[in-house]
Amino acid sequence: MGGIERVLKKMVSTVEANEWSVKNEKFLDRNYIEKCLKERRNIFNSEEQYNLCDISEINLPYLAEFVKKYPQFIKTEGSF
């Protein structure tokens, strides 16, 4: 959702994330964030991995319009 820069900015500006990041500096480490994004891991719990799904299998109204308007929410091969 905006890449590493956006994640780092949110970690500092969001109250909940800031509380975590103050206690554990890895949450503000660019390399850690990049690794989590590449490996589809939860930033706060790196043991937790996100699953990819085929967008054609999602049955939601207006999904096509949403994807067109917000393509950054879709992970494609080679992106993170």
Parse the chain into domains and list their residue ranges. Answer: 3-73
What's the CA gap between 80 and 75, in Å, rounded? 6
pLDDT band at 3 (very low <50, low <70, confident <90, very high): confident
- Return the pLDDT at 57: 86
Burial of 2 (0-12, 13-18, 19+ CB in 10 A): exposed
Give the tens place of pLDDT for each residue, 7-55. Answer: 888 777 775 666 666 677 777 888 988 888 888 888 888 888 887 778 8
In DSSP terms, which residues pair with 41 in a beta bridge? 49
Indicate whether 65 pLDDT > 80: yes
CA separation (Å) from 24 to 8, 45, 79?
A: 14, 12, 27
- Return the pLDDT at 15: 58
Which of 11-15, 54-58, 59-63 has the largest mean confidence?
59-63
Assess contact for 10 and 17: CB atoms under 8 A: yes
